[in-house]
């Protein structure tokens, strides 16, 4: 990488050969406005928003496609550049319907933003606007508004270059150019909704999210996708304590700019339905509400008397929860099998771009915390069906609904002398329990997941736990306390710092230094 020196707006910049001006400027904090340029897609050069002035060049040049050359002097704020930005904005808005009040992109629209920063003048266009297709359904997750489209072709290039599925193309000429599905195609590949994220305007919107919330009301919490063990970095966006959408957060070590559709929409299944808000205990054949103290006492005595026992932890439980759960089970019973829920499915080539074959985001981490008896989850279920267990503690998974033979699992669970289920909803499994403990889902949790490749990443609570339910880690701490094992942790961060002292591979990590991009086990961030 040869270093070269250029000047941008009078500032000396050392960059590397091969960098484009848009990249070199970004390195020193100068944002050159652009629509069609996307760091993960090929250069299209069509929007012309990034035109800059270069000394000794008669014409303005597009910063996205011009490589920095030794001695080059670039101007991003010269009168010519400021004028062409206004001109390009005016062109882009010539046939735009200016329907911001009813457009779902409003508030995060690059036309709006650049209008405020680079244009701020009335259009001189007084003619009839050209019309195009409105709300055309491109696929299960994406809807198209041709009139708002600026033909930047980001969506087309994403489908050509990232998914290689080629559903979309530009058709027609002149200002009748538009984006269209190939005849017979549907935009339904496993990464389809990314085109909504990269669409800088309101042309492609999310069918699941649109018209639910104005984006400026959204609260954004950085977190990790609970869909699978890839551990895509996301922003959990909430409104009035409900998750409204997931958006990908950029992390080049994990998901780059992308998020799969399955992950993007998984929060509906993981958080929906009626929540449990009070512990319950089996009394005269039925489940009746009880207090937390009584419920926890019942768990302790139940587990102690039921050996051998099975302990199943959800793959969506955090490292901190897994650490405490393993400790608890080892303390409670000497004859137990602990496993993290794990099931695999076949992935297609497009799915493999991002997705892992499981649905257990913290499968690796939970096992490393000690929730593993080396037989694996399938073997545990086998033993359960064969009646090898007397008791079971099931956290966050509905064992009946996830099994290929629900009846067999149900029969096996009924035969247990003691079953405790800790979950957010009254699942089929919970209905068979002797004690039911109301807990929390991923969106309400703080903690860490370790992804498939050994990257430790932080979850942050995006919504508030309903009154009456407890955080999983807190339930485990209370049970440990009640069992006589005094643990003084009062936050997930304290649990993490404790586990970092005990768990091989996690030594030297501290919760405070994990950061927004996570830390690779055995990598540089581990002291």
Partner 1 sequence: MEKVLLRNVDVPDSHTLAVYRSRGGYRAWEEVVKNIRPEQLIEEVKASGLRGRGGAGFPTGMKWSFVPKDSPKPKYLVCNADESEPGTFKDRLLIEKDPHAIIEGTLMAAYAIQSHTAFIYIRGELAFGAKRLDQAVNEAIETGYIGKNIMGSGYDLDVIVHKGAGAYICGEETALLSSLEGGRGWPKVKPPFPATHGLFGCPTVVNNVETLAVLPWIIGHGAAAYAAMGTEKSKGTKLFSVSGHISKPGVYEVEMGYPFVKLLEEDCGGVANGRKLKGVIPGGGSMPVLRPEEIEKVNLDYESVQAAGSLLGSGGVIVMDDTTCMVRAALNLARFFAHESCGQCSPCREGCHWMEKIFHRIEHGEGQRGDLELILDVSGNIMGNTICPFGDAAAMPAAAFIKKYREEFEAHIEEKRCTVGME
Chain contacts with partner 1 (rule: CB under 8 A): 43-49, 51, 58-60, 62, 65, 84, 87-88, 90-92, 94-95, 124-125, 127-128, 130, 150-151, 169-170, 172-177
Find the shortest distance in angstroms from Cβ 154 to partner 1. Answer: 14
- Phi-psi region for residue 20, left (φ > 0), alpha (ψ -120 to 50) or beta? beta
Find the shortest distance in angstroms from Cβ 84 to partner 1. Answer: 6
Find the shortest distance in angstroms from Cβ 98 to partner 1. Answer: 14
The residues pairing with 51 across neighbouring beta strands, listed in sequence order, are 62
Task: Quote the tokens at residue 16.
Answer: 């590397």
d(CA 195, CA 183): 19
Find the shortest distance in angstroms from Cβ 186 to partner 1. Answer: 21
Find the shortest distance in angstroms from Cβ 101 to partner 1. Answer: 23
* Cβ within 8 Å of residue 483, ≥6 positions away: 300, 328, 331, 332
Enclosing H/E stretch for 205? strand 204-206
Q: Which is nearer to partner 1, 66 or 440 (CB)?
A: 66
d(CA 82, CA 76): 8
Find the shortest distance in angstroms from Cβ 59 to partner 1. Answer: 5
Q: Which of 222, 264, 219 is nearest to 515 (CA)?
A: 222
Find the shortest distance in angstroms from Cβ 147 to partner 1. Answer: 13
The position carrying tokens 């063990």 is: 229
Q: Which is nearer to partner 1, 70 or 502 (CB)?
A: 70
Find the shortest distance in angstroms from Cβ 21 to partner 1. Answer: 13
Q: Which is nearer to partner 1, 151 or 249 (CB)?
A: 151
Find the shortest distance in angstroms from Cβ 207 to partner 1. Answer: 27
Q: Which is nearer to partner 1, 80 or 214 (CB)?
A: 80
Q: Which is nearer to partner 1, 81 or 243 (CB)?
A: 81
* Cβ within 8 Å of residue 62, ≥6 positions away: 45, 48, 50, 51, 52
Q: Which is nearer to partner 1, 80 or 352 (CB)?
A: 80
d(CA 78, CA 60): 11
Tell me the CB-side half-sphere exposure of residue 225, using CA atoms within 13 A.
Answer: 32
Q: Which is nearer to partner 1, 150 or 312 (CB)?
A: 150
Q: Which of 447, 444, 436, 461 is nearest to 494 (CA)?
A: 447
Task: Quote the tokens at residue 417.
Answer: 């002398």
Find the shortest distance in angstroms from Cβ 444 to partner 1. Answer: 45
Q: Which is nearer to partner 1, 44 or 313 (CB)?
A: 44
- Within 330-389, strands assigned E span 336-340
Q: Which is nearer to partner 1, 59 or 345 (CB)?
A: 59
10 Å CB burial of residue 69 (0-12, 13-18, 19+) is exposed
Collapsing DSSP to helix, strand or coil, 331 comes out as: helix
Q: Which is nearer to partner 1, 169 or 250 (CB)?
A: 169
The position carrying tokens 């193309």 is: 169
d(CA 181, CA 453): 36
The position carrying tokens 């807190």 is: 474
Q: Which is nearer to partner 1, 180 or 509 (CB)?
A: 180
d(CA 492, CA 497): 9
d(CA 30, CA 35): 16
478 and 298 Cβ atoms separated by less than 8 Å: no
Find the shortest distance in angstroms from Cβ 109 to partner 1. Answer: 16
d(CA 21, CA 72): 10
């Amino acid at each position: 990488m040869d270093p070269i020196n250029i000047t941008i707006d009078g500032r000396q910049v050392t960059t590397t050969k091969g960098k484009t001006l848009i990249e070199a400027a970004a390195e020193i904090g100068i944002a050159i406005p652009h629509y069609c340029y996307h760091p993960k897609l090929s250069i299209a050069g069509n929007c012309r928003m990034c035109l800059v002035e270069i000394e000794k060049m008669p014409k303005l040049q597009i910063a996205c496609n011009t490589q920095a050359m030794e001695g080059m002097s670039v101007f991003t704020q010269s009168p010519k550049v400021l004028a062409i930005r206004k001109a390009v904005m005016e062109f882009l808005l010539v046939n735009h319907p200016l329907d911001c009040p009813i457009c779902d992109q409003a508030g995060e629209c690059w036309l709006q933003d650049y209008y405020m920063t680079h244009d701020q003048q009335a259009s001189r266009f007084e003619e009839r606007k050209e019309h195009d297709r409105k709300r055309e359904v491109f696929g299960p997750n994406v809807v198209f508004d041709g009139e708002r489209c600026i033909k930047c072709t980001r969506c087309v290039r994403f489908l050509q270059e990232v998914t290689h599925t080629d559903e979309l193309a530009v058709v027609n000429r002149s200002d009748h150019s538009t984006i269209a599905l190939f005849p017979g195609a549907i935009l339904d590949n496993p990464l389809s909704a990314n085109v909504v994220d990269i669409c800088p305007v309101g042309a492609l919107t999310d069918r699941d999210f649109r018209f639910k919330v104005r984006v400026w009301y959204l609260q954004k919490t950085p977190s990790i996708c609970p869909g699978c063990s890839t551990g895509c970095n996301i922003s959990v966006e909430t409104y009035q304590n409900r998750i409204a959408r997931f958006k990908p957060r950029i992390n080049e070590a994990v998901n780059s700019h992308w998020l799969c559709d399955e992950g993007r929409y998984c929060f509906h299944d993981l958080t929906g339905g009626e929540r449990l808000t009070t512990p319950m205990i089996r009394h005269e054949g039925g489940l009746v509400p009880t207090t937390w103290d009584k419920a926890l006492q019942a768990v302790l005595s139940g587990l102690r008397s039921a050996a051998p026992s099975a302990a199943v932890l959800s793959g969506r439980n955090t490292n901190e929860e897994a650490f405490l759960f393993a400790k608890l089970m080892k303390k409670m019973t000497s004859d137990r099998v602990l496993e993290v829920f794990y099931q695999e499915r076949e992935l297609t080539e497009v799915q493999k771009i991002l997705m892992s074959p499981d649905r257990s985001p913290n499968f690796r981490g939970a096992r490393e915390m000690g929730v593993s008896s080396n037989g694996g989850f399938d073997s545990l279920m086998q033993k359960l069906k064969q009646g090898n267990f007397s008791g079971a503690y099931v956290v966050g998974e509905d064992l009946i609904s996830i099994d290929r033979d629900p009846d067999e699992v149900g029969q096996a669970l009924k035969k247990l002398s003691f079953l405790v289920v800790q979950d957010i909803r009254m699942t089929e499994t919970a209905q068979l329990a002797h004690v039911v403990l109301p807990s929390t889902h991923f969106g309400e949790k703080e903690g860490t997941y370790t992804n498939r490749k050994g990257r430790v990443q932080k979850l942050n609570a995006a919504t508030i736990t309903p009154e009456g339910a407890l955080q999983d880690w807190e339930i485990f701490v209370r049970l440990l306390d009640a069992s006589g094992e005094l643990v003084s942790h009062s936050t997930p961060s304290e649990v993490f710092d404790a586990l970092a002292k005990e768990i091989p591979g996690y030594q030297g990590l501290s919760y405070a230094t994990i950061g927004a991009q996570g830390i690779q086990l055995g990598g540089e961030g581990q002291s």
